[in-house]
Amino acid sequence: MSNLQLRVISAVVLAVIALGLTWLGGLPFRLLCAAMVAMIFYEWTRMSRPVTPHGLGFLPEALAVVFIGALIAGLPAFWLLLLAVILIAVTAIAALVRQTGQWEASGLAYASVSGLSLALLRDGDHAGLVAILFLFAVVWATDIFAYFVGRAVGGPKLAPAISPGKTRSGALGGAVGGVVAGVTLAAVAGAGNLALLGLVALVLSIVAQAGDLFESWVKRRHGRKDSGVLIPGHGGVMDRVDGLVAAALALYVIGWISAGADHPAQGLFPI
């Protein structure tokens, strides 16, 4: 079986699981977010943790478990955000005292914000369901169109020092595909503010591609080709969700501005 076939099969299986748990919402979706936090943190630390006896021991893992427990329990946004800030600050201070660098703290921040944004976006209502489906549509279409347009058109590289395979034509194709997919999903769901959502989709597509480049930079910084080996054809979980978690944070912030931290989707999808 070719690598492309493995990628397609893995992507389809993951999409089915993600869509099913998104439809259920509530605890099943929070468990998905918690699993994502755990795997992202594991892969991040596996890449960045120095092989020395002078690290932070199991402190970062213990703090990550505390956050995961709070996420599963469904804490309100204020307390979940406050807890994340406190845990990240504790990790950063401990790293400063032990002089181990700040990769542990940045990994906990990256992982916790990823799960937090998705869980709070989904919430428990119809608007949350549409928000996550909108997010999926934009990010997945961006990935697909960027890949195929980049291969078909080629041209100048987007960021050759970070990710040599990405092209400017692919980035533009991904952005167009993301906007079309996002607006189409919003129209089918019955949203009325399609012009605004088209602009939001464009922002999410750009942020998703930036998130992809950021994860590529982290891997290159630590001499890794993939973040892990869990997903056949894709590598690790971070390799699969790098753009998604960046776009989720952006959509959560936009929703927070429009409707508040606890129910961010309702400001964008008042259906």
State pLDDT tens for residues 82-103: 999 999 999 999 988 888 778 8
> CB–CB of 241/248 below 8 Å?
no
Alpha-carbon distances of 221 from 174, 214, 217, rounded to whole Å? 26, 10, 6
> CB–CB of 250/203 below 8 Å?
yes
Confidence of residue 111 (pLDDT cuts 50, 70, 90): very high
pLDDT at 240: 86
- Rounded to 5 degrees, what angle do the CA atoms 144, 148, 151 make? 145
pLDDT at 225: 79
pLDDT at 232: 65
Q: Is pLDDT above 80 for 52? A: no
pLDDT at 20: 95
Q: Is pLDDT above 60 for 207? A: yes
Q: Is pLDDT above 80 for 51? A: no
Report the pLDDT averaged over residues 134-143. Answer: 96
Q: Is pLDDT above 70 for 12? A: yes
Q: pLDDT for 231-271, tens place per residue? A: 666 678 888 898 999 999 999 999 999 888 888 998 888 76
Q: Please list, residue by residue across 80-100, b when 16 or more beta carbons sit within 10 angstroms of its beta carbon and e when fewer do.
A: bbebbeebbebbbebbeeeeb
Q: Cite the DSSP H helix spans in 3-76.
A: 3-24, 26-48, 59-73
The CA R_g of the chain, rounded to the nearest whole Å, is: 18
Whole-number percent of the chain with pLDDT over 90: 63
pTM for the model: 0.92
pLDDT at 175: 97
pLDDT at 134: 97
Amino acid 196 reads L
pLDDT at 259: 87
Whole-number percent of the chain with pLDDT over 70: 93
